[in-house]
Chain A
Amino acid sequence: MKELSLNILDVAKNSVKAGASRIVIRIEEADGWRTLSIIDNGCGMPPEFVATVTDPFTTTRTTRPVGMGLPLLKLAAEQTGGDLQIESSVVPPTGTTVRARFKIDHLDCVPVGDYAGSVVTLIQGSPDIDWLFVYNREDGKSVSLDTAEVRQILGPEVPLNLPDVLMWMEGALQFETEQQ
């Protein structure tokens, strides 16, 4: 993956598949480290599955027995000297947290890329899920989007995946300096 945002798009889809009703995606940058967290309240994974889930030959897909999503995220983190952690529970409250840490100034640290494009794509695909996205950048600036709030303003008649709404959200996710 050329950008971290593509890993985000890919791995967050696991949370959708796990039946989550709320998915939180956070990027936190502090002290030279970038930490990506994807937190869902989906069905969770049993410990024996968690233990093998970063093995490319573990997958829930049925088209072939290879799943590269988490292995690629793990690789992206570890090639900077960072790591990947997964916590999951199948007993209530169920859910999964994936956390990946990247050393920002490492030569092999991939750029964050078009995170707004990924978030909007996720919302387009699953407009009924509550998405919370937060990006706290190292320079102290931050952006966030909570679809529960957006939905409140739109009311029940207007769906989140309407093109005008998607475009508004993509704009709302930009840092101010990028606006020009």
Chain B
Amino acid sequence: MKTLAELQAIRERMKDSVTMRSGSGEIRAVVGMATCGIAAGARPVLAALVEEVNNLGISDKVTVTQTGCIGICRYEPVVEVFEADKEKVTYVKMTAEKARRVAEEHLKGGKVVTEYTIGAAEK
């Protein structure tokens, strides 16, 4: 069982650094979490993204959020990556594994994982 003392410890550790961590929101990774996305497996994709962005130490520039139906249900789970002055990247048929790779190579490294994009899926 997690104790309240552990929660207290998180507070002590985080309270000074949070303003820094709340993020410039340079990059937004958005996971489609409507009925279609959820049924297709969006929950573990979101969890993997949140975890990996934290592990990679890039939560200052990357925000992971949820949205409703993106409108391409047959491609769910879908992750869209928005970055200022760049074209939106749409990743389709995602898994937790693929999400970790996108976090590492794209969100951190700046290089689009082309093989997971909707463009590659439609070929």
Q: Specify which of B33, B54, B59, B71 is in contact with A13 (CB 8 Å cutoff).
A: B33
| Main SS class of interface, B | helix
A155 contacts partner chain B, Cβ-Cβ < 8 Å: yes
Contacts across chains A and B counted by CB atoms under 8 Å: 98
Chain A residues contacting B2 (CB-CB under 8 Å) are: 168-169, 171-172
Q: Specify which of B14, B47, B50 is in contact with A158 (CB 8 Å cutoff).
A: B14
| Main SS class of interface, A | helix
Q: Specify which of A6, A164, A166, A171 is in contact with B43 (CB 8 Å cutoff).
A: A6
Interface hits, A117-155 → B, CB 8 Å:
117-118, 120-121, 124-125, 150, 153-155
Question: If the complex has contacts A13-B33, A67-B35, are A168 and B54 also in contact, measured as CB distance less than 8 A?
Answer: no
Contact of A154 with B7 in the complex, beta carbons under 8 Å? yes
Q: What's the tally of chain B residues with a CB closer than 8 Å to chain A?
A: 37
Question: If the complex has contacts A13-B33, A168-B10, A172-B1, are A63 and B38 also in contact, measured as CB distance less than 8 A?
Answer: no
B46 contacts partner chain A, Cβ-Cβ < 8 Å: yes
Q: What's the tally of chain A residues with a CB closer than 8 Å to chain B?
A: 38
User: With contacts A6-B39, A13-B34, A114-B43 known, what are 6 further pairs, Cβ within 8 A?
Assistant: A10-B39, A63-B71, A121-B46, A153-B11, A157-B15, A172-B2
